[in-house]
Amino acid sequence: MLGASRSQLLRTVYIPSATSWVFSSLHTSVGMAFVGAVVGEYLGSARGVGYLILQAESNFDVNAVFAGILVLTVFALLLDTAVSLVERRLHTVSPG
């Protein structure tokens, strides 16, 4: 409308507008993917933290169950922090 080219519109309007939606969805998606991986390990794997938690439960080893949950919590927080850092970095780079 004001004479911007397609590449200028893409760089200054469309991408900055879409990044907020992408990253708000990405926070949820990363968390759900992580939960899905752990549940998959818990139900049908012979390796992984989910499997270790399952084995600890069957042996009534409460300390190992809590240790597995703590490891999963720390890793989930690290994943969320990584997504937040990338979001912040892209937000400062965008011309908006």
Residue 59 belongs to a domain:
yes
Burial class (CB in 10 A: 0-12, 13-18, 19+), 12: middle
Residue 15 belongs to a domain:
no
Domain range for residue 85? 21-93
Residue 79 belongs to a domain:
yes
What total of structural domains would you count in the chain? 1
Residue 88 belongs to a domain:
yes
Per-residue tokens: 87: 């979001």
Residue 5 belongs to a domain:
no
Rounded to whole angstroms, the Cα distance separating 41 from 19 reads 32
**Greatest CA separation for the chain:** 70
What pLDDT sits at residue 44? 92
Angle at 85 between CA 80 and CA 89, to 5 degrees: 150
The answer to whether residue 94 scores a pLDDT higher than 60 is no
Residue 32 belongs to a domain:
yes
Residue 10 belongs to a domain:
no
Lowest mean pLDDT among 59-63, 86-90, 92-96: 92-96
